[in-house]
Amino acid sequence: DQQVKQNSPSLSVQEGRISILNCDYTNSMFDYFLWYKKYPAEGPTFLISISSIKDKNEDGRFTVFLNKSAKHLSLHIVPSQPGDSAVYFCAARSNSGYALNFGKGTSLLVTP
Amino acid sequence: DTGVSQNPRHKITKRGQNVTFRCDPISEHNRLYWYRQTLGQGPEFLTYFQNEAQLEKSRLLSDRFSAERPKGSFSTLEIQRTEQGDSAMYLCASSLNLVGVIGGYTFGSGTRLTVV
């Protein structure tokens, strides 16, 4: 049962524009939400996270927004750069568990 | 510090054989995790160690799978009597604290298993 869903398998954005990656979840017990970036032949790399008590967290070009009532979060990348081209995974965890629940990922392509 | 190291990077084995993977976490990290990733899917949790204690196991970890972390340092994941469905990328990760806003795991590059 997929508790974290990324419904867009791929996204293409022009360099300099905004990339918006979306994620939905079904488990209202999740307390932390994270985004990971993955290049081919490498393991996922932690990007940014947000606690369920917040609705926004910003780190440089990356901002994560959380809408708890809609069980939805999004990752905004502004401005997008060709080096941002990668697969982005959304993940979530509850306070009582150790496991991260991952979505299937969205492949982002930033074109020059 | 060279990060999380996994060996081997690739493993091809015949169905029915046993395989063992090794993970060396970041030295000061006391928490270690194993995940499995199949094509088109996100990583799926397998098991978690805090120091040498295995605290959680996923239902994905059948009786053919066993993981150890002797002395709370490196970890091994063994799969007995491999099946074609075991073909996947096996990812190891480590962290100093529980994953949350303080930061995520550090993943290794994984071991890609192909069962033929």
For residue B93, what is the nearest residue in chain A, using CA coordinates?
A43
Q: Would you state the pLDDT for residue B105?
A: 86
- Cα dihedral sign, A33-A39-A45-A46: negative
Whether A73 has its CB under 8 Å from any CB of chain B: the answer is: no
Closest CA to A55 of A68, A63, A66: A66
What's the pLDDT band for B60 if we cut at 50, 70, 90? Answer: confident
Mean pLDDT of B9-38: 95
What's the pLDDT band for B28 if we cut at 50, 70, 90? Answer: confident
For residue A32, what is the nearest residue in chain B, using CA coordinates?
B100
Residue from B105, B106, B111, B112 to probe the interface with A (highest A Cβ count within 10 Å): B105
Q: Would you state the pLDDT for residue B57?
A: 86
Q: Would you state the pLDDT for residue B106?
A: 92
Mean pLDDT of B101-116: 88
Q: Is the pLDDT higher at B72 or at B98?
A: B72
Low-confidence ranges of chain A (pLDDT < 50): none
DSSP β-ladder status, B19-24 and A10-14: unpaired
Chain B residues near residue A101 by CB distance under 8 angstroms: 45
**pLDDT at B55 > cutoff 70:** yes
Chain B residues near residue A46 by CB distance under 8 angstroms: 103-106
* DSSP code, position B73: S
Where are the alpha helices (H) located in chain A, listed in sequence order?
A: none
Measured between alpha carbons, how far is A30 from A53 in angstroms, rounded to an integer?
11
Measured between alpha carbons, how far is A47 from A37 in angstroms, rounded to an integer?
6
Chain B residues near residue A105 by CB distance under 8 angstroms: 42
Measured between alpha carbons, how far is A99 from A107 in angstroms, rounded to an integer?
23
Contact B48 A99 (CB under 8 A): yes
Residues B96 and B50 sit within 8 Å (Cβ to Cβ): no
What's the pLDDT band for B103 if we cut at 50, 70, 90? Answer: low
* Residue that the structure tokens 């959380």 belong to: A66
